[in-house]
Amino acid sequence: MEKRKLGKSALEVSALGLGCMGLSHGYGRTVEKQQGIALIRAAVDRGVTFFDTAEMYGPFINEELVGEALAPVRDQVVIATKFGFDIESSTRLQRGLNSRPEHIRQVAEASLQRLRTDRIDLFYQHRVDPDVPIEDVAGTVQNLIREGKVKHFGLSEAGVRTIRRAHAVQPVAALQSEYSLWWREPEQEVLPALEALGIGFVPFAPLGKGFLTGAIDANTKFDSADLRSIVPRFTPAARQANQVLVERIGEIAGRKGITRAQLALAWVLAQKPWIVPIPGTTQRHRLEENLGAADIVLTRADLDEIDAALAQVTVQGARYPQQLQKLVDR
C-alpha cells in the first residue's frame, strides 16, 4: 500500500490506517478476541501499518487486543493510543477529563504494558482538558519522548489556538478529528492551520460511522450500547432526511464501478497528501472493501461532481449529543 507522511514529521504510515475501537467498544456488538486479532493481522497482511486505539476503548481491552495482535510484527507497524480521560468518573454522556502531568505518565506506563511494547509511536491527548494548560501537556509528552517511551505527540478534536500553543512547545505530528463527506467543518480553520504548521491529519469516522456506506437507514435499530443510539444525527428522522446524501454518493460511485464506502474514503484521501483516514470495521470483507479505496484515483472532474452533489444536501442532526460536544475544543 502507498505510504504517507503525517505532515512534516518523520512519521510514515500506510495511506489508510485501521481504527480499532469498534472491535471492542462503541458500536454495540463487539467481536471475540481471536476474531479481532485475526482482523488486525489481516490488515497487516494487506499493507496496513497504522493502528489506532485508546485506553478509553473498552476501557483498556482494546489496547490489550491491539497489543497481542501486533506483537509479532511490532517493528513493522505504528501504534497510536491516547490519554486524557478520567475513566473512573466517565459515563457514556459524562466524560471526566484528566491531563495532569502525573496522570499522563501513569497512562503511558499502563498503555505500554497493555500494548506489549517499549514505546508508543503516536500519543494523542484524547480531548483538550481546560483545567490543564496545553503547554504543560505538551511538555510532559516531550519528556516522555526524551525518555524514549513515546515517539510522537498528537492531539484529538483540538481547536486551532490549542494546536498552535501545543506545537510551540512540542511539535505536533498529527491531529485526529472527525472528517468525511458529511462532516467538513475542519476545512474552515483546522486544515489550513495544519498545512501551515506541517501537521498531519488523521480523520476518524471517514465513513460517517457507517451511514455513508448505505448499510444504515431510518429503520435500522441500534443496540443500547451503540454510541449512535445517543447521537442526534442518527435519530430515525435525521437518518431519513440524510438518506438523500447516501443516494447521491451511490449514484456517483455506481457510475465509477466502486462502492459508496470506497468513494467516501477515496474522497478523503484526495483532499491532501498528508491526510490518513482510519476507518474501522469488525468484518473481513469490509476491511478488504475499505482498503480497495487506496487504489482509487478521483479526477478533478470527479471531485467537482461530488462537491456539487454535496452542495445540494443539508445534513440533519448534530454529530454529538450536547454533553459530548462540550468536549470539542472549537
C-alpha cell at 165: 500553543
pLDDT at 64 over 80: yes
Residue-wise pLDDT tens digits, 132-177: 999 999 999 999 999 999 999 999 999 999 999 999 999 999 999 9
- By C-alpha distance, which of 19, 122, 20, 118 is closest to 75? 118
Per-residue pLDDT band for 214 (boundaries 50, 70, 90) equals very high
pLDDT class for 29, splitting at 50, 70, 90?
A: confident
pLDDT value at residue 197: 98
- Can you list the pairs that 215-221 forms with residues at least 24 positions away whose Cβ atoms lie under 8 Å? 217/243, 218/243
CA–CA distance, 330 with 257 (Å, rounded to integer) = 38
Assigned architecture for domain 3-325: Alpha-Beta Barrel (3.20)
Q: Is the peptide bond before 59 cis (omega within 30 degrees of 0)?
A: yes
**Stretch 108-127: mean pLDDT:** 98
Q: How far apart are CA 202 and CA 44, in angstroms?
A: 19
C-alpha cell at 35: 476474531
Mean pLDDT of 301-307: 97
For the residues 61-74, what does the mean pLDDT come to?
98
Q: Which helix (H) or strand (E) holds 141?
A: helix 134-146
pLDDT for residue 62 is more than 90: yes
| Whether residue 179 lies in the annotated active site | no
| Terminal Cα-to-Cα distance of the chain (whole angstroms) | 34
pLDDT at residue number 90: 79
Choosing from 27, 57, 124, 179, the catalytic residue is 57
Instruction: Single out the residue of 195, 202, 138, 151 nearest to residue 174, CA to CA.
Output: 202
Cell of 105: 505518565
Phi, then psi, of 19 in degrees rounded to 5: -80, 120
How much of the chain, in percent, has pLDDT values that exceed 70? 100
Please classify residue 25 by burial: count the beta carbons closer than 10 Å to its beta carbon, then call 0-12 exposed, 13-18 middle and 19+ buried.
Answer: buried
Domain boundaries, the chain: 3-325
Q: Is the pLDDT of residue 326 over 90?
A: yes
Claim: this prediction has a pTM higher than 0.85:
yes
Residue with cell 524514549: 148
Q: What is the DSSP letter of 176?
A: E
**What tens digit of pLDDT does each residue of 72-110 get?**
999 999 999 999 999 988 777 778 999 999 999 999 999
Query: Grid coordinates in use for 71?
Result: 506483537
Q: In this structure, what C-alpha cell is assigned to residue 176?
A: 485526529
Residue 4 pairs with which residues in a beta bridge?
Answer: 13
Whether the CB-CB separation of 276 and 15 falls below 8 Å is answered with: yes
> How confident is the model over 189-206, as pLDDT tens digits?
999 999 999 999 999 999
Report the C-alpha gap between 20 and 260 in whole angstroms: 21
Are the C-beta atoms of residues 160 and 192 closer than 8 Å to each other?
no
